[in-house]
Amino acid sequence: MSASSVRTMRGDEGPGWQALFASVAEEGRWIGAEAPVPDLAAETVQRFVDQDDRVMLLAEVDGVPIGWISVELEEGVAELGMGIVDGYRQRGIGTSMVDAALAWASAHGAERMRLDVFPHNEAAIALYRKLGFVEVGRRRAAWQRRNGERWDLIAMELALDTT
């Protein structure tokens, strides 16, 4: 495997993040957004760069961004969202991204990390379970797709070591 790393997104990387986000959204299965996605580059930079309560981390392979993970902290709970472009999944990159997000959340006082995942995203569920996340609930028909379909969401959480 090529060299991979995870780092904090810089203020000039909104367009690059947007391309990653759009690529995963176009697949129509792994994240809630669907193509065509609005241009969220400037809003994402403003929302995540140089903030104390949230961060956007980018995963790179050989210096090229191939995935993102966002962490938003509120009242001790870190909310996670992530995506990896097709062709780079199942290579350990998701583990590296979640590990980096966990480190950031712990350093910023989070007591728990939580996320929602679609039940058909079995690889992501397996990753989260491997890292210690447990299912804490399921919301039936919670996410409406543009075509009218409604997908369930599985809520997962991980208690962080606060000692």
Q: In this predicted model, what pLDDT tens digit does every residue of 68-117 receive, in sequence order?
A: 999 999 999 999 999 999 999 999 999 999 999 999 999 999 999 999 99
The pLDDT assigned to 162 comes to: 64
| String of DSSP letters for the chain | ---EEEEEPPTT-HHHHHHHHHHHHHHSSSSS--SSPP--HHHHHHHHTT-SSEEEEEEEETTEEEEEEEEEEETTEEEEEEEE-TTSTTSSHHHHHHHHHHHHHHHTT-SEEEEEE-TT-HHHHHHHHHTT-EEEEEEEEEEE-TTS-EEEEEEEEEE----
The pLDDT assigned to 19 comes to: 96
What's the pTM? 0.93
The mean pLDDT of 25-54, rounded to a whole number, is 95
pLDDT band at 163 (very low <50, low <70, confident <90, very high): low
Fold classification of 4-159 is Aminopeptidase (3.40.630)
The pLDDT assigned to 62 comes to: 92
On the question of pLDDT at 1 being above 80, the answer is no
Q: In this predicted model, what pLDDT tens digit does every residue of 112-157 receive, in sequence order?
A: 999 999 999 999 999 999 999 999 999 999 999 999 999 999 999 9
Taking the mean position of all CA atoms in its chain, how far away is CA 75? 19
pLDDT band at 2 (very low <50, low <70, confident <90, very high): low
The pLDDT assigned to 10 comes to: 96
Residue ranges per structural domain of the chain: 4-159
